[in-house]
Amino acid sequence: MNYIVIMISMLILITSSIFGQSVKLTTDKDYYEFDEIIKVEITIDFKEDSVLMPDFENFVIVYGPTTSSSMTITSGKTSRTTTWNYHLRPIVGGNQTINSPVFIIKDETYQDNDISISISEGSLGKQELERLKFEHFIDLAKPNDTYRYTIGDEFGYIEIRSKGNWIIHRRLTKDEMDIIRKVE
């Protein structure tokens, strides 16, 4: 008897994860100033086999992705939600498109519509706009797998450049921080 209840429960879990797949791509608004951070949220209600995230062309990923997942069972019905959050900085103004990621389940693809947003360069002076574009150029000029370190009074860490972003690699030990301070 317990075996049958377990099998029925598993069947409900499996079928609820197969039907009703939806992808939702959102931003916090449609119009941005050039120096604003754009918050992008991607939410799905299923377990994907694989995902092809957008490359966020004309944007720099400032932060992310952060991921959260939840699963609820209400009256025997299971629902699952996974959310990815990105914070982006534009590198060009005008009308821009944020492409939807593509999720794959058993050779079927799922995606939302792309989002069009407008980015104004009006609030920045020409010098400020050129400075931001130059900073972005410098960031792109650094090759992947470049390392850098940051040291404070008590803590330090090493970052590695990967896919155009700096990712914290590891914390520095006190001895490593002392050696670096002597070299500087």
> 170 and 81 in one domain?
no
> 85 and 25 in one domain?
yes
Number of domains in the chain: 2
CATH number of 30's domain? 2.60.40.10
pLDDT tens column, 52-90: 888 888 888 888 888 999 988 888 888 889 999 999 988
Q: Name the average pLDDT for the chain.
A: 81
> 161 and 83 in one domain?
no
Reported pTM: 0.60
Expressed as residue numbers, the domain containing 7 is: 2-141
> 76 and 61 in one domain?
yes
Task: Convert the chain into a string of H (helix), E (strand) and C (coil).
Answer: CHHHHHHHHHHHHHHHHHCCCCEEEEECCCEEECCCCEEEEEEECCCCCEEECCCCCCEEEEEEEEEEEEEEEECCEEEEEEEEEEEEEECCCEEEEECCCEEEECCEEECCCCEEEEEECCCCCHHHHHHHHHHHHHHHHCCCCCEEEEECCCCEEEEEEECCEEEEEEECCHHHHHHHHHHC
